[in-house]
Structure 1
Amino acid sequence: MTSQTPQWFKSSYSNNDGNCVEVATNLAATIGAVPVRDSKTPAGPALALSASAFSSFIEGVKGGQLSA
């Protein structure tokens, strides 16, 4: 386990309406995962996505392969 603290941030595309996801990509190199949480409940649970799964997700979003 690492003693490194997650550095949470929201996307610059977030419109701050309270429906945001925060990520802590600074942990990817040390733990091989990217924690993801709901910005409305910062003390709540966080998902730990593998670095490769998170990367694939971002590629899918940027490539327009994921839509609502």
Structure 2
Amino acid sequence: MGCSPDSLRAWCHQAERDAGQRVGLTSAEKDRIKELERENRELRTANEILKKASAYFAAAELDRPFKR
């Protein structure tokens, strides 16, 4: 077949998990976890950007002369 025995074994095990014949995560569950991890990374990055922007604008506000 042109693949290693380990690759073929892993594919067979995954096919059995997808069919419900073996315990473990299905391909759909693995894909969903990957998607959630990617989204989590993006949200953490966005959160860091917002924190830095907030700190920058807060510092700029303190540097402005006080108006009465």
- Same fold per superposition (TM over 0.5): no
Structure richer in helix, relative to its length: 2
When the two structures are superposed, what TM-score results if normalisation uses the length of structure 1? 0.30
Q: Give TM-score scaled by structure 2 length.
A: 0.30
